[in-house]
Amino acid sequence: MPLESISADGSILRVPWGSFHAVWLRDNCPCSECRHESGQRLLDSVAIEDDLALASARAHDGSIVAVFTDGHESRFDADWLRARGAEPRRRRTLWDARIDLPIERFDEVAAGGEALRRWLAAVDELGFAILTGGPTEPGTVTRVAELFGFVRETNYGRLFDVRSVVNPANLAFTGLSLGPHSDNPYRDPTPTLQLLHCLASSAGGGENTLVDAFRVARDLDPESFALLAHYPLRFRYRDDETELEAERPVLSVDVCGELQGVHFNTRSAEPAPSLPREWYDAYRAFGRALVAPEYQIRFKLEPGDLFIVDNLRVLHGRTGYTDAGRRHLQGCYADRDGLRSRLAVLRRGAIDEIFRTFRERGAGAYLGEPVSIAEHSLQSAHAAERDGARVTLVAAALLHDYGHLIHELPEDSAEQGIDSRHEDVAHAFLARHFGPEVVEPIRLHVAAKRYLCAVDPFYVDELSSASILSLYLQGGPYNQREVKEFEASPHAEDAVRLRRYDDAAKVAGAVMPDFEHFRPALEAAVR
């Protein structure tokens, strides 16, 4: 492996994909003296020597071995180090009124598994999600929160009822409309998730509104954004037993100026008299945009329906309703950390299942090729990685022949003249876990062979004899019309690239990374 250099004073290690300073490397030594088997650090970071430097470093067998001036030797897995240098994939997608609503069926989500994962992934990516067709039993809302995390109890209780009452302490408990707002900005910390479940709905009005406040903030002019990020507001709630107060700006940003959270609630904000006039102009401009039809969505919850919002990003509200006494919602709070943890564990489980299948069934011969399916898959993914392909295409390369592991036909079906349609089998299974950037090139990888046979006169010569046998079972080279149809697919280009990796991945005895090497790519690509 190419290892570029250590700086003259030993303070920095440079590798082709980044640079790491000596103290960071020492701090992250993975040896059993420095890390417990639980993964927690044993080394006391504070005790690292002030003038620590690297005495030497060399590449060895997929690792980088570093010796420090304190005498300690560390061995870093190159893939691990490479992953530390990479930007983590950001899964947030900002939306406006044109969004397709992320809706799942209550029963499917409650059963756990993929529907739950899809639903949680929508909350993570879009900041909200809807459930339909649930029970109208009181308490359902906390059961839903418990599917992924922990209920955050507050002075309103473990859950609270939203309906009109006499002498309400909160406008939510009237039939009045509520503009877009974050709940409980007067709480410290503000709950990061809110769920609302419909037990009974009103005949007239009472629709819910949602708006992606991050999307709206992105369109603010820079001066307004800066004003809203600069001046704190005091939020306040009081009733007979409660006095809650917290101070924060409408837009909270991190040290890089990136938006982290929105607190917007005109009912409980107490703007200080010292707030300048320009702040008010910005505040009103933001508030007007939050209700603009190009940003806001509106839907009516039927009894049994529920929605969840990221309370620091997606603002919720409702239209007013008339038949007071009929409409009844129950709400509760929860937090994002629990949701993200559950989502990550569900994603990890999906990848574990795939790797287990490769281990249990991937050692078999691969249709007369000199490699097993597992080897062929690893070689394909390795070729994609070396080609600098996106993680989704690396994942597609690893998984493109997964259909051979899970279809029910005998291994020599091709010799018996049967096309296993393994690309469709793989697509049907993998679409439960991966998006179109992964599964469409897989579905098209046989089509790509028929396409290449039609457009590249030398391509057939490169195919193995097993691949030529299956080509005719699969329908042979495309005709002109089929070529055009194939080229029209938005995934045609990736499918052709995948096909090239596939064809080259039949080398007996090639040394390959193992499946775990590709876990980060799958983790980044899984839904």
Partner whose binding site includes residue 331, from Zn ion, ligand OGA, none (CB under 5 to 8 Å by kind)? ligand OGA
Beta-carbon contacts of 322 under 8 Å, excluding residues fewer than 6 positions away, are 175, 202, 203, 204, 205
In whole angstroms, the minimum distance from the beta carbon of 162 to ligand OGA comes to 4
3-state helix, strand, coil in the chain (%, to 5): 40, 20, 40
| Burial class, 286, CB count within 10 angstroms (exposed 0-12 / middle 13-18 / buried 19+) | buried
Nearer Cβ to Zn ion, position 125 or 401? 401
In whole angstroms, the minimum distance from the beta carbon of 522 to Zn ion comes to 17
In whole angstroms, the minimum distance from the beta carbon of 241 to ligand OGA comes to 19
Dihedral (Cα; 350, 354, 359, 362), 10-degree rounding? 170
Nearer Cβ to ligand OGA, position 319 or 464? 319
Give the SS3 label for residue 265. Answer: coil
Nearer Cβ to ligand OGA, position 208 or 379? 208
Question: DSSP of 56-86, one letter per residue?
Answer: EEEEETTEEEEEETTS-EEEEEHHHHHHHHS
Partner whose binding site includes residue 413, from Zn ion, ligand OGA, none (CB under 5 to 8 Å by kind)? none
Distance CA(127)–CA(194), nearest Å, equals 11
Nearer Cβ to ligand OGA, position 178 or 521? 178
Nearer Cβ to Zn ion, position 118 or 263? 263
In whole angstroms, the minimum distance from the beta carbon of 190 to ligand OGA comes to 13
In whole angstroms, the minimum distance from the beta carbon of 148 to ligand OGA comes to 20
Partner whose binding site includes residue 350, from Zn ion, ligand OGA, none (CB under 5 to 8 Å by kind)? none
In whole angstroms, the minimum distance from the beta carbon of 297 to ligand OGA comes to 14
Contact 446, 423 (CB under 8 A): yes
Classify strands 5-6 and 12-15 as parallel, antiparallel or unpaired.
antiparallel
Contact 499, 449 (CB under 8 A): yes
Residue type, 258: E
Tokens of 306: 């529920």
Nearer Cβ to ligand OGA, position 210 or 378? 210
In whole angstroms, the minimum distance from the beta carbon of 346 to ligand OGA comes to 28
Interface residues with ligand OGA (CB under 6 A) are 162, 172, 178, 183, 196, 208, 316, 318, 329, 331
Other beta carbons less than 10 A from residue 523's beta carbon: 16
Nearer Cβ to Zn ion, position 125 or 503? 503
Partner whose binding site includes residue 502, from ligand OGA, Zn ion, none (CB under 5 to 8 Å by kind)? Zn ion
Interface residues with Zn ion (CB under 5 A) are 183, 401, 502
Question: DSSP of 196-229, one letter per residue?
Answer: EEEEE--SSB--EEEEEHHHHHHTS-HHHHHHHH
CA 177 vs CA 136, 318, 351, 442: distances in Å:
23, 6, 45, 49
In whole angstroms, the minimum distance from the beta carbon of 309 to ligand OGA comes to 10
Partner whose binding site includes residue 329, from ligand OGA, Zn ion, none (CB under 5 to 8 Å by kind)? ligand OGA
Nearer Cβ to ligand OGA, position 166 or 508? 166
Partner whose binding site includes residue 401, from ligand OGA, Zn ion, none (CB under 5 to 8 Å by kind)? Zn ion
